[in-house]
Amino acid sequence: MELAVRHQTTYRYATPANQVSLLLRLYPGQLDCQQIRSWEVTVNGTPVTEFPLNAFGDGEGFYHRRGAFSEMEIVASGTVATQERHGIVSGFTQEVPLPLFLRQTQLTQPDAAIHALARSLAEPEPIPRLHALSARVREAIAYEGGATTTATSAAEALALGRGVCQDHTHLFVSAARSLGIPARYVSGYLLADEAGHALRETHAWAEAWVDGLGWIGFDATNGLCVTELYVRLCAGLDAHDAAPVRGSVYGTTEIGIQADVMISLAAPSGSQQVQQQQ
Amino acid sequence: MSFFEMHDPEGSVRDCYAEVQRWIDDTGVAGLHRRLEEAEAIFRRIGITFAVYGEGGDPERLIPFDLLPRIFSRMEWQRLDQGIRQRAQALNAFLYDVYHRGEILRAGLIPQELVYQNQAFRPEMIGFDPPGRVYSHIVGIDIVRTGPDRFEVLEDNCRTPSGVSYMLENREIMTRMFPDLFSRGRVTPVDNYPAQLLRTLKEVAPPACKGDPVVVLLTPGSLNSAYYEHSYLADLMGIELVEPVDLFVEDGRVWKKTTAGPRAVDVIYRRIDDDYLDPLAFRPDSLLGVPGLFHAYRSGGVTLCSAPGAGIADDKAIYVYVPEMIRFYLGEEPILANIPTWQCGTKDGLAYVLEHLSELVAKEVHGSGGYGMLIGPKSTAAEIATYAERIRANPGGFIAQPTLDLSTVPTLGEAGVVRRHADFRPYCLVGKRMRLVAGGLTRVALTEGSLVVNSSQGGGVKDTWVLRD
C-alpha cells in the first residue's frame, strides 16, 4: 500500500520569538514493513536535513533560528510504501540492547494497580498474553479526548479510567515491562481507526519484544497489531522520548499549537485515489 | 588502633614526616596556631568558599584548613599512581563497552539490568564514539588508607569531580607561608595541573575543529556551590567561563555570543549535570541548558567533557564490579582494592545488611556528598530502625560496607598534634594519554573519631605532599 502523508505543526507566539530550536523526529525509517518513496521535512519552508540515526535507530533533524518571527510551521510530507507483516516490525539497522526497554520512566512507573492488571493475565503464551494485555488496557481506559494531558502517567490514567492513545500505550508498556517483556512507545501515523475514521493527528502505539519473532506492534487503542495502515516515525521509552516534535523557544510565550495530519492512499497512477480527508 | 600515618608501628616518626616533625617542634603549638590564623585570613581575603547544600546558614562558609600536610613517600605514590591510572583506564573502557557491544555484560560479569535499567545510563549515547573514546576526562577516585600498605577505593567520580581547587590553593598558601619547607625541592609540585587539564581537553577536540581548539568551561552559574572552583580553574587555564545562555547551536556547531559576533567553541568542560545540558535531548521540562547541544556533540561539532552518561561508571551499584572491569579490559589484577560491599538489591545482601546494620556503613546507591548515609556503630537504635525501613522499602537503592579502620593523619589541635581520620582524592586526567599530578585533595574529619570527611559534614582540607625521594 502506498500512503501519502502530510503532517503540519504550527506554533504561534504571543510576541515574535527571538530564538527557536526544534528537535524533529519526523523521519520514518526504512524497514521491512515500510519503504520511503519520498520524504521531506521543512520549517517555514526551509528543508531540515536528517542527522545520523539516533540511539534508537530513528532519524532526527535539528532546526535552529535566531531572529524575530511569530509563527513556526513544521511540515513533514512524502510517500511511504507499507506491507502487511502481521504486526512484525523488523529491518532495523541499529541494535539497541533489549534490557533497556525494561526500564520504567516517570510516565510508565507501575503502581500496585498496574502490577495487579499485569499479573491478572492468565495466558501463558507470549502473543496471546500481549493481545490480552492490549484488550485489558482498552477496557481499563475508555477513549476520551481531553481527559488527560501529555504529562499524565500510566498509573494516573489507569486510576482515571479515561484517556487517549498516549495513555493506552503508556499503560501497555508499563505492564509489559513489569512482566519482564521489553516494550517501547512508538509514534507515527495511522490511515484510519477501526471505525474507518481518518485521524487528523499523530498516533501512538506500543512495540513488545517476543523471542523468536522480534518486535511486534500493538495498538491497544484500536485493539489490533500494526498493519499496512501504519507509518512508524520513532520509538522511545515513553511519550517524551518518542515525541515527534520538541521545541525550545526564547523571548516569548507560545499561544497556540495546531497539528494537522493528512494521510491518504497514494494509489499508483491510473487507479482510483481514496481520499480519507473530509 | 588505626594506623597513624606519621608514625611507624614502633611509634617513631616515619622518614617522610621527619622534616615536618622538626618544623612542628621548632615552631611550637602556639606558633602554629598563629600561622593558622594568618592562613585563614588569607583564604578569607581570596574568597575560597564552598557552599553546602541542605544545611542552611552561610552559603559562603569557609572550609576549614589544617596546617599540617599529609605526606606520601615516593614508594607509596608509585603504587597509588599505577593503581589510579589503571582504574581510570578500566572505567573508560567500561563506558565505551556499555555504549557499544556490552561485552562485559554478555560475558555475564555484570548483571545487564544494573546497567540498562540504571538512570545514569543514557540510551542517547549508544553507538556514539566520543573523540579518543574517552568518556570521563577527569576521574576523581576517593581512596582511604587502612594500613601501612593498604589503600582501598571508597568510590569513583567520573562525571565532574570537584575539589581540585583546594589542592591548588592549599599548596599555594603553604608555599607562600612556609617557603623554607619547599626550598629543598623535595615536594613534587602540583601547580601544573591547570596546564595539564587544558592539554587534555584540547586533545579531545571534535572532528569539526580546525586549528587550535577553543575550550570553555560551562558553569550553571554563580549560585552553584562550586562556582568559585569553576571561575578559578577557567582563570588558571586562560579560558572563558560561560553559562548556558552564552551559547547557542547553529549549523551543527556550538557558538559563544561575543560583542564581536559568534565565536565557534570546540571543547566544553562542563560542570553541569547531564539533565541540564540540553532541554531538547534530556529534560524537556528544563529551562536550563543549550538547545541542540547534544546533537552538535553527536554529529562531531563539539566535545563534551565529561561525556553524557559517564555517570554509569561511578554508580555505587556498579562500583562493586570495578575489579572485574580491570581484569576483563586490561587483563591485570587490581592494584587498589575495593571495599567489600553488600548490595541490598540481592536477597543474601539484604538479609546480611539488615542483620548487621549496627556494624555497617549504609549508603544510597545514587547519593553523594555524605548525605543520606548511616554509620551503624555511631547511630542510635532508633536511627538504625528508621534506616532499615528505608532499605526495606527500596532494597536496590542501598549498599552497605564494613566500618573501616581508616588511617589518621597529624592535625593541629588545641593543645598540639592530634590524630584525625582522612581520605584522599587524586584527579586523573584522560585525553589521548593519561596524566596524573602527584598529589590530590586530602579531606580530614576534624572531630575526634569521626569518619565523615565531606566538607558538607564539617570536614576540613589539608595540603598533600608527594616526596621525590
Please report, for the domain that includes residue A40, its CATH number. 2.60.40.2250
Longest dimension (CA), chain B: 68
d(CA A276, CA A221): 20
A234 interaction partners in chain B (CB closer than 8 Å): none
* Containing structural domain, residue A121: 88-236
Inside any domain, residue A273: no
Residue of A nearest to B106 (CA): A97
Do B127 and A55 make contact, defined as CB atoms within 8 angstroms?
yes
Closest by Cβ to B284, choosing from A51, A96, A246: A246
Interface check A146 vs B, CB under 8 A:
no
* Residue A52 Cα, gap to closest chain B Cα (Å): 8
pLDDT at residue B160 tops 80: yes
Interface check A100 vs B, CB under 8 A:
yes
B292 interaction partners in chain A (CB closer than 8 Å): 21, 23, 62, 64
Do A55 and B123 make contact, defined as CB atoms within 8 angstroms?
yes
Do B117 and A99 make contact, defined as CB atoms within 8 angstroms?
yes
Place of cell 539484604: B350
Inside any domain, residue A276: no
Do B127 and A97 make contact, defined as CB atoms within 8 angstroms?
no
A11-25, B38-52, B91-105, B299-313, range with the lowest pLDDT: B38-52
Question: Is A137 found in the same domain as A178?
Answer: yes
Inside any domain, residue A278: no
Mean pLDDT over B273-293 rounds to 85
SS (H, E, C) B448-465: CCCCCCCHHHCEEEEEEE
pLDDT at residue A19 tops 90: no
d(CA A159, CA B402): 44
Within a 13 Å sphere around the CA of A85, how many CA atoms are in the beta-carbon half?
A: 19
Residue of B nearest to A100 (CA): B116
B298 interaction partners in chain A (CB closer than 8 Å): 51-52, 54
Q: In terms of DSSP bridges, do strands A214-219 and A88-89 run parallel, antiparallel, or are they unpaired?
A: antiparallel
B117 interaction partners in chain A (CB closer than 8 Å): 99-100, 102-103
Interface check B13 vs A, CB under 8 A:
no
Question: Is A198 found in the same domain as A135?
Answer: yes
Q: How high is the pLDDT of residue A199?
A: 75
d(CA A150, CA B285): 12
Mean pLDDT over A112-131 rounds to 95
Separation in Å, CA A229 to CA A1, A29, A147, A165: 8, 15, 27, 16
Within a 13 Å sphere around the CA of B328, how many CA atoms are in the beta-carbon half?
A: 20
- CATH of residue A138's domain is 3.10.620.30
Interface check A239 vs B, CB under 8 A:
no
Q: In chain A, how many domains are there?
A: 2
A248 interaction partners in chain B (CB closer than 8 Å): 279-280, 291
d(CA B435, CA B326): 19
Interface check A268 vs B, CB under 8 A:
no
pLDDT at residue A268 tops 80: no
Inside any domain, residue A271: no
In the stretch 110-149 of chain B, residues with CB closer than 8 A to chain A read: 112-113, 115-117, 121, 123-128
Do A21 and B123 make contact, defined as CB atoms within 8 angstroms?
no
A102 interaction partners in chain B (CB closer than 8 Å): 113, 116-117
d(CA A107, CA A174): 9
pLDDT at residue B276 tops 80: yes
Mean pLDDT over B388-392 rounds to 93
d(CA A186, CA A207): 7
Inside any domain, residue A160: yes
DSSP H helical ranges for B293-408:
293-298, 316-319, 322-325, 347-356, 381-393
**pLDDT level of residue B68 (50, 70, 90 thresholds):** very high
Do B292 and A21 make contact, defined as CB atoms within 8 angstroms?
yes
In the stretch 249-268 of chain B, residues with CB closer than 8 A to chain A read: 249-250, 252
Cis bond before residue A178 (omega within 30° of 0): no
Question: Is A218 found in the same domain as A149?
Answer: yes
* Residue B114 Cα, gap to closest chain A Cα (Å): 10
Question: Is A101 found in the same domain as A29?
Answer: no
B295 interaction partners in chain A (CB closer than 8 Å): 23, 51, 60, 62
pLDDT at residue B128 tops 90: yes
Interface check A19 vs B, CB under 8 A:
yes
Inside any domain, residue A24: yes
Separation in Å, CA B196 to CA A210, B57, B428, B431: 51, 36, 10, 10
Interface check A109 vs B, CB under 8 A:
no
Q: How high is the pLDDT of residue B277?
A: 94
Question: Is A183 found in the same domain as A48?
Answer: no
* Residue B314 Cα, gap to closest chain A Cα (Å): 19
Which residues contact residue B205 at a Cβ distance below 8 angstroms, ignoring those fewer than 6 apart?
B131, B213, B266, B267, B303
Mean pLDDT over B208-230 rounds to 92
Q: How high is the pLDDT of residue B60?
A: 56
A207-221, B5-19, B75-89, B371-385, range with the lowest pLDDT: B371-385
Closest CA to B449 of B416, B417, B420, B413: B420
Contact A133, A114 (CB under 8 A): no
pLDDT at residue B53 tops 50: no
Separation in Å, CA A64 to CA A19, A23, A44, A215, A245: 7, 9, 12, 34, 13
In the stretch 284-323 of chain B, residues with CB closer than 8 A to chain A read: 284, 291-292, 295, 298-299
Interface check B103 vs A, CB under 8 A:
no
Separation in Å, CA B247 to CA B65, B202, B223, B250: 37, 19, 19, 10
DSSP H helical ranges for B158-308:
164-177, 179-182, 193-203, 227-237, 293-298
Interface check B394 vs A, CB under 8 A:
no
Dihedral angle, C-alpha A80, A81, A83, A87, nearest 10 °: 0
Question: Is A63 found in the same domain as A169?
Answer: no
Closest CA to B117 of A236, A177, A183, A99: A99
In the stretch 33-72 of chain A, residues with CB closer than 8 A to chain B read: 51-52, 54-56, 60, 62, 64, 66
Q: How high is the pLDDT of residue B323?
A: 97
Which residues contact residue B449 at a Cβ distance below 8 angstroms, ignoring those fewer than 6 apart?
B421
Inside any domain, residue A228: yes
Question: Is A149 found in the same domain as A41?
Answer: no
Question: Is A92 found in the same domain as A78?
Answer: no
Angle separating helix axes B164-177 and B227-237, nearest 10 degrees: 70
pLDDT averaged over every residue in chain B: 91
Closest CA to A35 of A231, A187, A264, A261: A231
Question: Is A156 found in the same domain as A31?
Answer: no
Contact B171, B463 (CB under 8 A): yes
Question: Is A38 found in the same domain as A94?
Answer: no
In tens, the pLDDT along B409-443 reads 999 999 999 999 999 999 999 999 999 999 999 99
Do B248 and A66 make contact, defined as CB atoms within 8 angstroms?
yes
Q: How high is the pLDDT of residue A74?
A: 95
d(CA B135, CA A221): 42
Task: Give the bridge partners for B362, in sequence order.
Answer: B374, B400
Inside any domain, residue A202: yes
Do A51 and B279 make contact, defined as CB atoms within 8 angstroms?
no
In the stretch 192-231 of chain A, residues with CB closer than 8 A to chain B read: none
Cell of B272: 553541569
Give the residue from B280, B283, B286, B297 with the most A CB atoms within 10 Å of its CB, the best one to mutate: B280
Question: Is A110 found in the same domain as A215?
Answer: yes
d(CA B42, CA B32): 15
Burial class of B57 by CB neighbour count within 10 A (0 to 12, 13 to 18, 19+): exposed
Longest dimension (CA), chain A: 59
Cell of B301: 561539532
A94 interaction partners in chain B (CB closer than 8 Å): 127
Do B280 and A96 make contact, defined as CB atoms within 8 angstroms?
no
Contact A39, A78 (CB under 8 A): yes
d(CA B326, CA B127): 22
Cell of B256: 559563544
* Residue A212 Cα, gap to closest chain B Cα (Å): 19
Mean pLDDT over A99-107 rounds to 95
Do A103 and B117 make contact, defined as CB atoms within 8 angstroms?
yes
Residue scoring higher pLDDT (B180 or B368)? B180
Question: Is A202 found in the same domain as A185?
Answer: yes
Separation in Å, CA B58 to CA A89, B43, B52: 58, 16, 8
Mean pLDDT over A225-243 rounds to 95
Contact A43, A73 (CB under 8 A): yes
d(CA B95, CA B440): 24
In tens, the pLDDT along A178-197 reads 999 999 999 999 998 667 77
Do A51 and B117 make contact, defined as CB atoms within 8 angstroms?
no
Do B280 and A21 make contact, defined as CB atoms within 8 angstroms?
yes
Taken in order B255, B257, B261, B266, the sign of the CA dihedral is negative
Interface check A8 vs B, CB under 8 A:
no
Place of cell 501529555: A150
Do B123 and A100 make contact, defined as CB atoms within 8 angstroms?
yes
B113 interaction partners in chain A (CB closer than 8 Å): 99, 102
Q: In terms of DSSP bridges, do strands B215-218 and B240-242 run parallel, antiparallel, or are they unpaired?
A: parallel
pLDDT at residue B457 tops 80: no
Taken in order A176, A25, A273, A44, the sign of the CA dihedral is positive
Which domains can be identified in chain B, with CATH numbers? 65-172+188-206+302-334+422-466 (no CATH), 340-402 (3.30.1490.270)
